[in-house]
Amino acid sequence: MTPSINPAVIKQFLLSRVRNQQENYLHPPYNMEQQLMAAITRCDDGLAVEILDKINGLEGATLATEPVRSRKNSLIAMCTLFTRAIIKGGIHPETAFHLSDAYILEFEKHSSLEALNRLEYDMLYHFIKTLKEETTVRNYSRTVNLAISYIYENILQELSLEIIANQVFANPAYLSAKFKKETGVSLTSFINKRRIEESKYFLMHTETSISDIALLFKFCNQSYYTSLFKKHNGVTPREYREIHSAI
């Protein structure tokens, strides 16, 4: 069964994973910018928060006549800086740009300065957490790295041990054992977790039905998708959508 999702929505999702956010409305003082980038690159969240506090204590430029719009514009600039920092730290650019785009869309859902100010720090912690988690891939063997890259690039396609093994020129049994040994999880579990994470885009930014999202990401049915989603996030897809719609 094919999910009834507008192809334009899927196209936007795919573009959001690779598009580099070029808008850069405001830079903090150069020395502070470099210090903040260095702290993020080293995954030093304590120092990064301290520097961000100092930057926010300075008088910022007025980037729009309306204060909330001005704050959103400054957050877009800060998001661009965070993105550059984690790429410098070794994260895959596609992952960084996907995260950047998701936050830029999230900014537009808020209408209060207080919420936007909180979101800036949430964004900082999220970028550093992502860098910590994703850069562990550099410690994997070439075979496992190739498998992970193939999964990321084909997340909406059929993925199986046999398909991936064929793509990375490895015996399926060998790949399965090696992947589990190096990552600590089975190939199937890794794929499911990645699909769960990617599906959040549709929950937050579209009105696509949960059943269609489940089909799009190749889960056998909505119940299985819901069960896995709750296992990884503590809430169901419907609850996750409601939480983020209410922010």
Q: For the segment 103-139, what is each residue's pLDDT rounded down to a tens digit?
A: 988 998 898 999 999 999 999 999 999 888 776 656 7
Please report, as a single letter, which amino acid is at residue 114. Answer: E
Do 126 and 19 fall into the same domain?
yes
User: What pLDDT score was predicted for residue 20?
Assistant: 42
Report the largest interatomic distance among the alpha carbons of the chain, rounded to a whole angstrom.
61
- Find the angle CA(176)-CA(180)-CA(186) to the nearest 5 degrees: 75
Q: What dihedral angle (degrees, nearest 10) is formed by the CA atoms of 67, 68, 72, 74?
A: 20
Per-position DSSP letters for 21-51, written without gaps between them: ---------HHHHHHHHHHHHTT-HHHHHHH
User: What pLDDT score was predicted for residue 16?
Assistant: 64
Q: Choose among 151, 153, 158: nearest CA to 219.
A: 158
Give, in order, the Cα–Cα distances in Å from 226 to each of 126, 222, 232: 24, 6, 10
């964004």: which residue's tokens? Answer: 123
Do 23 and 120 fall into the same domain?
yes
User: What pLDDT score was predicted for residue 78?
Assistant: 92
209 CB-near residues (< 8 Å, 6+ apart): none
Residue 6 inside a domain? The answer is no
User: What pLDDT score was predicted for residue 211?
Assistant: 96
Residue 4 inside a domain? The answer is no
**Domain tally, the chain:** 2
User: What pLDDT score was predicted for residue 171?
Assistant: 97
Please report, as a single letter, which amino acid is at residue 245. Answer: S
Question: Which CATH number fits the domain that encloses residue 241?
Answer: 1.10.10.60
Residue 211 inside a domain? The answer is yes
User: What pLDDT score was predicted for residue 3?
Assistant: 65
For residue 91, give its domain range. 14-136
At which of 82, 107, 136 does a domain end?
A: 136
Do 52 and 91 fall into the same domain?
yes
At which of 72, 104, 136 does a domain end?
A: 136
Do 70 and 92 fall into the same domain?
yes
User: What pLDDT score was predicted for residue 220?
Assistant: 93
User: What pLDDT score was predicted for residue 17?
Assistant: 58
Residue 60 inside a domain? The answer is yes
- Find the angle CA(99)-CA(103)-CA(106) to the nearest 5 degrees: 145
- Cα separation, 51 vs 120, whole angstroms: 13
Low-confidence ranges of the chain (pLDDT < 70): 1-4, 15-28, 59-65, 135-138, 246-247
Do 63 and 100 fall into the same domain?
yes
- Cα separation, 181 vs 26, whole angstroms: 45
Q: Choose among 133, 163, 142, 136: nearest CA to 151.
A: 163
Do 129 and 166 fall into the same domain?
no
Do 39 and 131 fall into the same domain?
yes
Do 128 and 216 fall into the same domain?
no
